[in-house]
Structure 1
């Protein structure tokens, strides 16, 4: 979970004990005094008095009305529905005319669906046309592309289609400009827990992280089977490949799959095993490979990358090149590395950092993008919603994915799976997420208190793939304890090629300013093979320049909340200027987001409402931006609280509002009227941050 996502500070109101304005709304403090109090120094002519508060009588009446409504609602006892009844209602809803079969909607032919009467969607095209909502203004997002619209009659822009419903491939629902989708056959194997991870298991075994077997009998059977398999040079399926993969594997790995399938309970033995606090590793705690590692890799490398029925390993006439033998891991200094120096890095942002938002930031100047944080356990279960976080657009030329796991085995298998199924430039491991639900599972910031487990996770991940492994951390778990500077030299030796340090502790969350002096200290301590990136409160090109000037050892700065509030920060940094962006220019950026969203989530009713929801999540951040032309002191700081003020025009006044009703009005300007009964509350307003133990 990224640093920008869980800040819950609402747009602050005027402090009651020290009023900033008199009865006429005139500011009484100087800009310097306002800045000292962390209040935005908005020019006097744009200030407005705070809205009048309701009287005590009105408040009491409102409370009584609320209590009356609550009592009426409590008196209505809702019937508790069984799971079968809920499932039946969902099926009936799917069969309604609103949910037309995608094949029928695409082709317009009611006989085109191969499922016929067994289809779970409606085939009544005329009834769907009769009740479908009016088309939205504008043209279909797929109009200018070479492909036809994959939603046909269900598209909310169907009136712009040529000749009604255009022809096209029914399999074009997945956009050709997006990659990193999960294949259906692999997903089924993950569902059944039958996917084999030979490289991960081999590396875990090499590092001593697999632990003992479930029982002595099982352990003896494994040892006997392994010896027999090595002597006979025979694979269970006879062709040198595991049944569930298409990659050649060793005899050890083939036997591992056979023993796992014979277990009978559908689980890998290593799934229930967890590393000890001090894992037994055959490698030394330095950057060079030890002699024991070389011996282990050479033993595995004799058979990996070739069929099990090939020539004997001792036959020197057969040579396996490193390109074909993926087990012959490269030395850390021979791996492909990414130079993050001077590159503008958009942080992985949960919920708001989706693919359409990243496309907007790429247009505005971002160099490096990273997908939203994905949980390893969910990826290994084949959850489609989690795999959607790994999607990559063709415009993202330098792209990474961020994963979060608590144990070396889950991270190792996830890394191997991503290497097989995705095209990425680097893999980032989150070890700084402060959210309770993540920390309570032992992942995220919880790893900062367990250096040996951090070591195991980084070592096993970097030993499996050739892609660079990066790490994202906070300065510590508790304030003043578990500091990351004591580990900075070791992290580079464990196999990480870059580390991003957020200048706050887990206990601190998002209170106070980021400690950049401590980030500089870590950057100066880091070894030459480890790039250090700073993160926290970068909100203008001046912030960027100061951090780079004060610490030349710092490779770059990651931009998180600054990009959420004003994504044009990347343009400001590259052009070295404060952009006094107009409301019309901001609206055009939002239109680009909507267009990218309709391409990504779909132009049907479901896709339109999904785009609307993510647009509203983003507007809950952009409303905190104060235009440059309205400030007495430039630039705006992230910790400033804004007074009540007007914009320079009606649209700008609407954009700076902190009311969800005004955000919905902006969404209706771009996506039409909201459905009846529509409500919205931002996800980042979480009460989990109010707990005393979180500081």
Structure 2
């Protein structure tokens, strides 16, 4: 640790500088804690406050002390430049073949001269950087470290006999839900058969989409009147939100309107063996379907042989469709998941990865959920998207969250996950505010299309027995809340639970969450539907208040509060404000780094990946103000902390909003950063009203 400086040492007396503390008013008088709280400023005790910024023309204390400056902005590189760097890295001697690194034998690679990695073991040893401090995270495993010589802790490796004699801590700790190579190849070639979802879609009258059909239906939707107000005065629920000619189809299982991407099937199904009427015009030319011998239309892909049904397969599909109609499970007959009074860690983009969930689990979280995964990417076999479904053995109640704009995409994704993964529930995101998601018709965009919400939930819940949950916001537009009019229908459509984030999409994360509206929705929900509230929970006081104010609320989901202080779960369970020390916080970061190296690897790439996600997390933790420094307890999530000194150098460093200081913390745990290292947080966590997470 560096010697104390003006930035990390003791606080100089404000009187000595003649400056006014940052939390003072315009007349120089000290603001009261109540005034600071009213302005959403954390009321830090005066003895810990930094002096205000110096006047123009004077050098800043940090600059005089030679402290590193913030602003490690990532340089934007062209695709050609990035490709050139990747090619140069492949030619580097440090890019050693994994097989040779694991065994230390040059002849172990079966690709020989065709291998795209380096086989120069001597050059690798000469250029390899020094080992990092600490032990290899795989020392307790039954097998040797999978990264061998490439491990940044290779000096601590034991011989095979000693490793076998050492009790293994990895026997009970393992990861699951990995993407199998044979499954990935089938997905790449669009040959993965998902009969349950196709049978369910046919039963609902929903045919599988392609681009041309989506385009036509979007044109139809654009001509329909806007449906922002969803009246429930006449008790018809969301039927009032669609044109009258479409509501007539809601009560007929054989007929479905063209709203929201569904192709209408207007043929009566009195005779199951009679083929449906042939599609005409554009639908016939652009959405051609291959027909089995019984006349049932099926999806036609670019690879015709993958979807050409044999006589036996066609009869099986027909049987499944009939069984699905006759043996359809009522939502209350499906598998149940009990979330009541459990501490639920929300799915968090980028930061809510498996190592972070493991840390939260060790600190008291009961339920965990993976980051949001796009259904289309999962169906394409993208390994990076499937990584979001990974589960650790310590996550005893675990769910995955998916996002999709159309019923066929969601139904097929749900069946694929149920078939290939071990999960306790599947959550469908209908509240994501990010433009990239909304512009594709998913996330919050679904709040403007209740009939598509209905189709998606019914298709998903009828495809698998795994409980289906839904996450929504209050509305798309500010001041036009509509979930209260849909809450009963969501339970009837087949959802086991619904989480309501108390903000609209237009509101994003500005202003406080509307918990009164969450209470109103919870009161209208049927007994079979569990309602969870989400928004601004940052202490056990917040948790207790929401639970006592609304007994019908099943539980509360914890999101950004866990990013700032993951020990929030411990505080709730122990009903106390934990004045955690900087050393205890550093130990939590050490635990994160350890499990991160287990997850991403202990080689050079794994170390830098762990560092990247650690820095993303540190961009949130700097907003936490220790309990012992506050005049008013507990801290609220919307409070902006002023510039302050901690009770020791490490606490001061952790309070810094400078990216350079976050990098310094990462170097304490993972060694020096590589030459030319840059970092810019993916989410603007210091912009309280524009954060994309939560």
Whether the 8 Å contact between 2:173 and 2:394 is mirrored in structure 1 is no
Residue 193 of structure 1, CA deviation? 1.7
Q: 1:79-478 residue pairs with structure 2 within 5 A?
A: 90-163=86-159, 177-210=174-207, 211=263, 216=284, 222=290, 225-226=293-294, 256=298, 263=304, 303-304=319-320, 328-478=327-477
Indicate how the Cα distance of structure 1 residues 262 and 191 shifts in structure 2: closer, same or farther if over 3 A, else same.
closer
SS of the equivalent of 2:294 reads helix
1:569 — aligned with what? 568
1:45 — aligned with what? 47
Residue 125 of structure 1, CA deviation? 1.0
Whether the 8 Å contact between 1:199 and 1:327 is mirrored in structure 2 is no
1:526 — aligned with what? 525
Whether the 8 Å contact between 1:533 and 1:557 is mirrored in structure 2 is yes
- Distance in 1 (CA, whole Å) between partners of 2:171 and 2:193 is 27
Indicate how the Cα distance of structure 1 residues 208 and 674 shifts in structure 2: closer, same or farther if over 3 A, else same.
same
Residue 21 of structure 1, CA deviation? 3.4
- Distance in 2 (CA, whole Å) between partners of 1:468 and 1:120 is 45
TM-score, normalised with respect to structure 1: 0.77
Whether the 8 Å contact between 2:103 and 2:148 is mirrored in structure 1 is yes
- Distance in 1 (CA, whole Å) between partners of 2:660 and 2:400 is 34
2:620 — aligned with what? 621
- Distance in 2 (CA, whole Å) between partners of 1:42 and 1:431 is 38
The superposition leaves residues 276-335 of structure 1 with CA deviations (integer Å, 9 ceiling, x where unpaired) of xxxxxxxxxxxxxxxxxxxxxxx9798449xxxxxxx9xxxxxxxx9xx99944332111
The superposition leaves residues 22-72 of structure 1 with CA deviations (integer Å, 9 ceiling, x where unpaired) of 89x9971111221122111111111111232553999xxxxxxxxxxxxxx
1:32 — aligned with what? 34
Indicate how the Cα distance of structure 1 residues 329 and 155 shifts in structure 2: closer, same or farther if over 3 A, else same.
farther
The superposition leaves residues 115-155 of structure 1 with CA deviations (integer Å, 9 ceiling, x where unpaired) of 11111111111111110110000000011232321000000
- Distance in 1 (CA, whole Å) between partners of 2:303 and 2:550 is 57
Residue 262 of structure 1, CA deviation? 6.9
1:296 — aligned with what? none
Whether the 8 Å contact between 2:619 and 2:685 is mirrored in structure 1 is no
SS of the equivalent of 1:511 reads coil
SS of the equivalent of 1:200 reads helix
Whether the 8 Å contact between 2:199 and 2:317 is mirrored in structure 1 is no
SS of the equivalent of 1:182 reads coil
2:13 — aligned with what? none
- Distance in 2 (CA, whole Å) between partners of 1:175 and 1:197 is 33
Indicate how the Cα distance of structure 1 residues 89 and 136 shifts in structure 2: closer, same or farther if over 3 A, else same.
closer
2:505 — aligned with what? 506
1:682 — aligned with what? 681
Whether the 8 Å contact between 1:356 and 1:600 is mirrored in structure 2 is yes
- Distance in 2 (CA, whole Å) between partners of 1:48 and 1:217 is 71
Indicate how the Cα distance of structure 1 residues 96 and 432 shifts in structure 2: closer, same or farther if over 3 A, else same.
same
Indicate how the Cα distance of structure 1 residues 363 and 390 shifts in structure 2: closer, same or farther if over 3 A, else same.
same
Whether the 8 Å contact between 1:94 and 1:121 is mirrored in structure 2 is yes
- Distance in 2 (CA, whole Å) between partners of 1:684 and 1:88 is 28
- Distance in 2 (CA, whole Å) between partners of 1:267 and 1:470 is 31
The superposition leaves residues 405-436 of structure 1 with CA deviations (integer Å, 9 ceiling, x where unpaired) of 00111111100110111000000000000001
The superposition leaves residues 245-302 of structure 1 with CA deviations (integer Å, 9 ceiling, x where unpaired) of xxxxxxx7xx947x657747x8999xxxxxxxxxxxxxxxxxxxxxxxxxxxxx9798
SS of the equivalent of 1:111 reads helix
- Distance in 1 (CA, whole Å) between partners of 2:640 and 2:289 is 67
Whether the 8 Å contact between 2:346 and 2:368 is mirrored in structure 1 is yes
1:20 — aligned with what? 23
- Distance in 2 (CA, whole Å) between partners of 1:124 and 1:342 is 58
Whether the 8 Å contact between 2:428 and 2:469 is mirrored in structure 1 is yes
- Distance in 2 (CA, whole Å) between partners of 1:478 and 1:582 is 42
Q: 1:551-562 residue pairs with structure 2 within 5 A?
A: 551-562=550-561
1:535 — aligned with what? 534
SS of the equivalent of 1:226 reads coil
1:62 — aligned with what? none
Larger displacement relative to structure 2 (196-205 or 496-505): 196-205
The superposition leaves residues 500-549 of structure 1 with CA deviations (integer Å, 9 ceiling, x where unpaired) of 00000001011100000000000000011110000000000000000000
Indicate how the Cα distance of structure 1 residues 97 and 637 shifts in structure 2: closer, same or farther if over 3 A, else same.
same
Ranges in structure 2 where 5+ consecutive residues have no aligned partner: 1-18, 61-74, 165-169, 208-262, 264-277, 310-314
Whether the 8 Å contact between 1:191 and 1:382 is mirrored in structure 2 is yes
- Distance in 2 (CA, whole Å) between partners of 1:20 and 1:88 is 51
Indicate how the Cα distance of structure 1 residues 506 and 219 shifts in structure 2: closer, same or farther if over 3 A, else same.
closer
Indicate how the Cα distance of structure 1 residues 164 and 136 shifts in structure 2: closer, same or farther if over 3 A, else same.
farther
- Distance in 2 (CA, whole Å) between partners of 1:268 and 1:619 is 52
- Distance in 1 (CA, whole Å) between partners of 2:288 and 2:36 is 74
Whether the 8 Å contact between 2:143 and 2:163 is mirrored in structure 1 is no
Indicate how the Cα distance of structure 1 residues 19 and 658 shifts in structure 2: closer, same or farther if over 3 A, else same.
closer
RMSD (Å), alpha carbons: 3.4
- Distance in 2 (CA, whole Å) between partners of 1:122 and 1:326 is 58
Residue 620 of structure 1, CA deviation? 0.6
SS of the equivalent of 1:429 reads strand
The superposition leaves residues 622-674 of structure 1 with CA deviations (integer Å, 9 ceiling, x where unpaired) of 10000000011100001111111110001100011111111111100000000
- Distance in 1 (CA, whole Å) between partners of 2:570 and 2:518 is 25
- Distance in 2 (CA, whole Å) between partners of 1:372 and 1:26 is 47
